[in-house]
Structure 1
Amino acid sequence: MHEASTLPVMVIDDEPHLRITASQTLELAGYAPLCFASAEEALAALPEHFPGVVVSDIRMPGMDGITLLRELHKRDATLPVILITGHGDISTAVEAMRAGAWDFLEKPFAGEQLLDVVRRGIEKRELSLENHRLKAELEVQQAALGPRLVGRTPVISRLALMIQRISQVEADVLLFGETGTGKDLVARAIHERSARRHHPFVAINCGAVPENIIESELFGHEKGAFTGAVERRIGKFEHANGGTVFLDEIESMPLALQVKLLRVLQERSIERLGANEPVPLDIRVIAATKVDLKSASEEGSFREDLYYRLNVVTLPLPPLRERREDIPLLFQHFAVVAANRSGLEAPTPDSHAMAALLAHDWPGNVRELRNLAERFVLLGAAFDYRLDALLEGAGTDIEAHSLARQVELFEKSLISQSLARHQGHVVEVCRHLTIPRKTLYDKLKRHGLNADDYRHSNEP
């Protein structure tokens, strides 16, 4: 009996010796071969969402390989099918590729050729199944658990754990991270996981509201409080009563208003402009900044007392370049979201596209990656789905990274994803990546990865 983590490979050929040889080669490499003498038998045995690949001869009695390919793709258009052709049969190989074959092998072929094409087919299959899973998750993404934090790296797992803990206590929170790291998403995640989730979540960009009206926007005003105040207005804080106020770019808030915000945080009440009676508030405040507020307070551009009042719980959000292993998964997620919204299919990036993703420095962080994924779905065909071409406008230069560096980044990403998938179980990771244990430990050490970090953490 094969381990559950061993990936299946379906081998279909009417020649017994070829089935035996292919089966032995695949088994020694850690795969689980499933052999059939005819296409009809294989079709009857194929389960739904088959996680592996299919290797089939073209010329067989009864149903031939091309017909089998078309039948398989009626059931699952993303299933990689590798067809075996006779020596020099170029026209058949061309027909196979036009029919949608993932690749083909020419008889006679070496065991290494078989393993190479199967390995690449398995990688494509895993990405396709991940797309299906992500698409299914979209339907429940805005349920009680709130926005989904996508990522499998230890730093994201720790962030997800902190979000869960913070959401259960009544403390104001300061989020610190570069532009595009997802501060808005984290704020919403805290709100949606808290007891306040059935009350308003009010987001205010302190840098986008004109200074002359920001006080009225936040605290409201009474009729006649100033020229143009023809009726009473309820401010953002009062509207959020019972829920959460998210103050983005709080470093942009004028100093005079910071004094009033400090009073709101201390007294949990506001006074509308033109009124004398305080309005009690039951709110949680989540503030976000992309600058070091401690340094800003020392320079006099941010009030020191407000900084210490906000700094009770601080969550640092990592930039994308510090969790590159999450880039392929994040890109897939955003591509599936974009495809689902536009009614298109989410194309699967090839290895060159992944190299382009991993080589980029992502100054715009997750927001920049999301925008690229959307362009890839909507405009990718015009660029032959070349991510490096889509990234040219963002200043990406893949050649700036040596081949060795690109390979290193890609390898680290694959190992990290495998560790997350198998919950840090080294034996299963070795089987999945088809490498010896000593080799895996050497690579973990070189890439600064630790299997224990993945052992008890579920995907956030």
Structure 2
Amino acid sequence: MESKTPDIAVFFIDDDPAVLTSAAQTLELSGFHVRTFDNAAEAIEEISPHLAAVVVVDVRMPGMDGHAFLKEAVSLDGELPVIMLTGHGDVDMAVTAMRNGAWDFLQKPVHPRQLVECVERATRHRAVVLENRAFRNSLQDQTGIRERLIGQSAGMVSLRETVAALATTDVNILIRGETGSGKEEVARCLHEFGPRKDRNFVAINCGAVPGSMIESELFGHEKGAFTGADKRRIGKLEHADGGTVFLDEIESMPLDLQVRLLRVLQDKVIEPIGGNRIVPVDIRFIAASKDDLHERALAGSFREDLYYRLHVAEIFIPPLRERHEDIPVLFRTFLSRAADRLDRPLPPVSPELDQDLLSHTWPGNVRELISAAERYVLGLPLTGSSGGKETPSPTSEGHGLQQRLEQFEKSLILRTLAAHGGSMQKTADELKIPYKTLYLRVRKYGIDKNAVKAEPD
């Protein structure tokens, strides 16, 4: 018989070695993973809300008895199933224990089938509890990611869902996106909402570091390794041990260095320049490129074996021109941040400016929009020209009048919903349209009003 919940262990606590041995054999034959303890004090050290286990504990033991263990365990996790083992005269005591949070009690000597059935029910319950907690945590993570990766376009909703799902997987990831699309922000979200969030996040732009320096930058060097190496230097990969390394513009990395990086991914060790030290490292790699690395690998300008090591999962960031409806909310967000940082008053945004923003193609993507917001706060032309205020290009590639009008309408509804915390009635009142009309527009554009959060005005 196999356990239906093989990931949930059984902690069995009893000071009688014979009972421990017999119970462990019974449960293991039924497919459970069992850990035995001959005292409760040792087991209590491992109890936490994340523990994938249930507990069977004897009531009468020297030192910390079953009741003391139960009290402590329930204080650490009120939903941990604790099954009490009692003697013939301890039934009243067991009933009291159940009132105090015990899952169930079994009377010694325990019939093997009764023990297995009771433990199986407890492990199923624990699996559901942990699954629900993981789901709630993922919702919280998505909320945090939503505040970082802003927008309600289909592309951004899909991007947030992908980032939330991959953040906890701890696999290597390749991010594709145009220059300025926000690849480093996505990488930081993958790190900060994942299991390595308390360790270092090290960002390296492979295209910005001179070829003569990048090897030392990554791997470090020993004293005297080359001219000018007057002291030992810890490389960025060693500094990132336990954390995440973000390799931006990885397509710029020289082929000989790609060989060394491949060894780090395969063997999880680094060797500083000029030394014989082998340094074990535990690193999650997130690489980013504006190019199709698979095509480059086929063309021989990027190592195919390295591509497959990095391409465990891939994330694509849509360019800003493909999510015009996000532009007004993004612009206001960046405007508010720029006003705070530059200590300037927040300027108003007119409908005419919104239309100018929507009609521009934004070749520099989010980075260009951030720059435009900063210039607008300073009273400078949006495009950075030295003359009078320039209007962005009035044409939108591939978009006719009807499409541009729909983009503007959708962005206006999104902006107004955000201003009113998702209230449909207040939005309809401000836009001076019937509630039913607004409802139909929201359905037409696929807007999730529950996901709309108030953004800076």
Q: Which TM-score band (shorter chain)?
A: 0.5 to 0.7
The equivalent residue for 2:222 is 222
- Aligned identity (percent) is 50
> Which residue in the other structure is 2:408 paired with?
410
Structure 1 runs not aligned, ≥5 long = 1-143
Instruction: Evaluate the alpha carbon distance shift between residue 157 and residue 409 of structure 1 in structure 2; reply closer, same or farther with a 3 A threshold.
Output: closer
Q: 1:449 aligns to what?
A: 445
- Sort the Cα spacing of 1:298 and 1:425 in 2 relative to 1 into closer, same or farther, 3 A: farther
Alpha-carbon distance, 1:430 to partner: 5.4
Q: Secondary structure at the match of 2:275?
A: coil
Instruction: Call closer, same or farther: CA 1:422–1:307 in 2, change over 3 Å.
Output: farther
Q: How far does residue 267 in structure 1 lie from its aligned partner after superposition? A: 1.3
State the SS of the aligned residue for 1:273. coil
Give CA-to-partner distance per residue, 1:119-178, whole Å, 9 cap, x none: xxxxxxxxxxxxxxxxxxxxxxxxx97972222223222222222222212111111100
SS at match of 2:379: helix
> What is aligned with 2:22?
none
The match for 1:168 is 168
**Equivalent residues in 2 for 1:37-56, closer than 5 Å:** none
Is contact 1:147–1:189 with CA below 8 Å preserved after alignment? no
Task: Tell me if structure 2 keeps the 8 A contact 1:219–1:272.
Answer: yes
Correspondences of 1:85-96 after superposition (within 5 Å): none
Is the CA contact 2:203–2:248 (under 8 Å) kept in the aligned structure 1? yes
In the alignment, is the contact (CA less than 8 A) between 2:152 and 2:326 conserved in 1? yes
Residues 369-384 of structure 1 mapped to structure 2, 5 A cutoff: 369-380=369-380
Q: Would the aligned equivalents of 1:360 and 1:397 in 2 still touch at CA under 8 Å? A: yes
Give the direction of change, closer, same or farther, for the CA distance of 1:341–1:420 in structure 2 (3 Å limit).
closer
Once residues 290 and 396 of structure 2 are traced to their aligned partners in structure 1, the CA distance between those partners, rounded to angstroms, is 31
Distance change >3 Å, CA 415–CA 253, structure 1 → 2:
same
- 1:309-388 residue pairs with structure 2 within 5 A? 309-380=309-380
Relative distance call for 1:267 and 1:456 in structure 2 (3 A) is farther
1:258-273 → structure 2 map (5 Å cutoff): 258-273=258-273
SS of residue matched to 2:321 = helix
Contact kept? 1:145, 1:192, Cα under 8 Å: no
The CA deviation string for residues 30-79 of structure 1, in whole angstroms up to 9 with x for no partner, is xxxxxxxxxxxxxxxxxxxxxxxxxxxxxxxxxxxxxxxxxxxxxxxxxx
In structure 2, stretches of 5+ residues that fail to align are 1-143
TM-score (norm 2): 0.60
Q: Which has the larger radius of gyration?
A: 2
Secondary structure in 2 aligned to 1:202? strand
Q: Is the 8 A contact 2:176 2:291 kept in 1?
A: yes
In 1, Cα distance between equivalents of 2:188 and 2:147: 7
- The separation in 2 between residues aligned to 1:217 and 1:230, in whole angstroms, is 15
What is the CA-CA distance between 1:227 and the residue it aligns to? 2.2
Out of 379, 393, 396, which is 1:396 matched to?
393
Q: 1:286 to 1:324 in 2, by over 3 A?
A: same
Q: Is the 8 A contact 2:219 2:272 kept in 1?
A: yes
**Over aligned residue pairs, what C-alpha RMSD do you find?**
3.3
- Separation of aligned partners in 2, 1:262 and 1:301: 15
2:144 corresponds to 1:148: no
- 8 Å CA contact 1:152–1:417 kept in 2: the answer is no
Q: How does 1:420-431 map to 2 (within 5 A)?
A: none
Residues 147 and 185 in structure 1, CA contact (< 8 A), matched pair in contact too: no
What TM-score do the two structures reach when normalised by structure 1?
A: 0.60
Give the drift of 1:455: 5.9
Secondary structure class of the residue paired with 2:246:
strand
What is the letter of the counterpart of residue 275 of structure 2? Answer: A
Aligned residue type for 1:181: S
| Pairwise CA distance, 1:278 | 1.4
Q: Do 1:223 and 1:231's aligned partners in 2 also have CA atoms closer than 8 Å?
A: yes
Contact 1:146/1:189 (8 A) holds in 2: no
Cα pair 2:145 2:160 within 8 Å, conserved: no
Match of 1:187 in 2: 187
